[in-house]
Structure 1
């Protein structure tokens, strides 16, 4: 069995004995260096999956493995060294009086030596372009800057996996684009696995693979192109599709032939150019 992965094996979860199941018999794997987006309507179980991965919750049935190690109370601190999480509101993650203190906090909890902490602070802030703000108070930062610091705090512990739970939801479009570019750069440089829980369809199109949750179950799984080609089925469970995908459908309804599901403007332009060139 490949050890460098996250695996859910027949996981079921509910918040108390009388509550309905939030997750039912969920199984999937996330491999090393892979970017997986998890999408679904509100209440479909997305954020619960994130908390289970990081040991904030434990399943009533089934098991979760992180790099071959079962997630349970006895292993929780080892698991959290490997799985970092960035939440929707970065203010909820700040504990230090300065950016430097905040990035250092997780490393202090893990008992890292001071020399290593100093090096990791520098490297992590550099990775998210926040070196100049090391002595700044976090509450004085913009929303995008705060989220960069939250990402740096996770990176400093040097995890194998990073979960972004609606981490760009509170940002404007420019801020979302900048944060996702930062994440892509960091993933490429550090060979991380990335798990994004998101409603942002533009984020989803950039992932390697998409898991669609519906009523607590894995409803569909595939590449972004595979998933968004199933527009009618997605709409049936209350999900939307990217604007560019809708535009491609309108063009096909008007009689144009588009050979594959476009994921962005560039791909649609290439399809139209190819169509024009063959005439």
Structure 2
């Protein structure tokens, strides 16, 4: 698996008289993987996202996107490769209709009209919004708005999409629908995906998890490895899924659960295995 993004000892602060928001951070994002970045407020998660997209530039270290160093000369090339969906989709809408809004980014990149029309159709179809092309974006529901925001990013055909708390304003059903949409799009279009989130249900679906704490890379691994560190996560103010807490309580009560469960089905399978051995 090749590296698509690489942070090399990156440090950043918003003002010289303030402490570092990120300090000597190094990590990689692989091609076609889903990386979840978690951490309490102020840990540097959203700053990482903006650095990847060229909205911010590091004061120390360097960032490579597909082998290209991110700097003032390369940011427009970077933004063709890295798309970003923010928490509030209303902040991304510029068109009077859904169709216009999805086309806006492609117009900025100077794509031919015929290609734009094809991509408007395909990107809206990918997020289940084909029947809303003539609708005004601001009259859509929260989940529909976020689907359009994702379609607008997809239309530019990036190789990586960053979702910065993109489901935070949705109800649980809307969050589930959006993440399922994203998972399907990633699988069908071979995208790399980064989600910055507090929703643990999103985190357990990722291929890998990066935990940030006080501007530093604190822990990294697959979801099972990360959530196995329950006590350490709680010590830095992070929660763990309910099912992992329940498994820990059952283990403390004497049940020999072998594998850290990430969902209810896995816990049931563990309990069934234990029952069959009795």
Which TM class, normalised by the smaller chain length?
over 0.9
Query: Which residue number in structure 2 is paired with residue 9 of structure 1?
Result: 8
Q: Deviations over 1:159-188 (max 9, x none)?
A: 000000000000000000000000000000
Q: 1:71-220 maps to which residues of 2 (within 5 A)? A: 71-220=70-219
TM (norm. structure 2) is 0.99
TM-fit CA distance, 1:253: 1.6
CA deviations 1:31-58 (Å, max 9, x no partner) are 0001000000100000000000000000
Name segments (4+ residues, structure 1) moved above 6 Å. none
What CA distance in whole angstroms lies between the structure 2 residues aligned with 1:159 and 1:19? 34
Residue 251 of structure 1 deviates from its aligned partner by: 1.1
How much has 1:140 moved relative to structure 2? 0.7
CA distance in 2, matches of 1:277, 1:134: 55
Residue of structure 2 in register with 1:50 after alignment:
49
Matched residues in 2 for 1:7 and 1:20: separation? 23
In the TM superposition, residue 133 of structure 1 has moved relative to its aligned partner by 0.3
Q: Which segment is superposed worse, 250-259 or 36-45?
A: 250-259
Structure 1 window deviating more from structure 2 (25-34 vs 246-255): it is: 246-255
Shift of 1:225: 0.4
- For 2:274, the equivalent position in structure 1 comes to 275
* Aligned-partner SS, 1:182: helix
SS for the counterpart of 1:12 is strand
Q: What is the CA–CA distance in structure 2 between the aligned matches of 1:19 and 1:102, rounded to whole Å?
A: 38
Q: Distance in 2 between matches of 1:110 and 1:122?
A: 18
- Taking the aligned partners of 1:74 and 1:138, their CA distance within structure 2 comes to 33
- How many angstroms does 1:208 deviate by? 0.4
Question: Any idea what the Cα deviations from partners look like across 1:165-214, whole Å, max 9, x if unmatched?
Answer: 00000000000000000000000000100000000011000000000000
| Partner SS state of residue 212, structure 1 | strand
Q: 1:12-51 maps to which residues of 2 (within 5 A)?
A: 12-51=11-50
CA distance in 2, matches of 1:109, 1:124: 17
Task: Provide the secondary structure at the position in 2 that maps to 1:73.
Answer: coil
User: Which blocks of at least 5 consecutive residues in structure 1 are unaligned?
Assistant: none
Instruction: Output the aligned Cα RMSD.
Output: 0.9
Distance in 1 (CA, whole Å) between partners of 2:174 and 2:200 is: 15
Aligned-pair distance for 1:269? 0.8
Distance apart, 1:69 and its partner CA: 0.2
SS in 2 for 1:6: strand
Of 137-146 and 253-262, more deviation after overlay is shown by 253-262
1:10 match: secondary structure: strand
How many equivalent residue pairs?
Answer: 278
Q: Match of 1:265?
A: 264
C-alpha separation between the residues in 2 aligned to 1:142 and 1:254? 46
Deviation at 1:62, TM superposition (A): 0.3
2:254 maps to 255
Question: Secondary structure in 1 aligned to 2:94?
Answer: coil
**Cα drift, residue 16 of structure 1:** 1.4
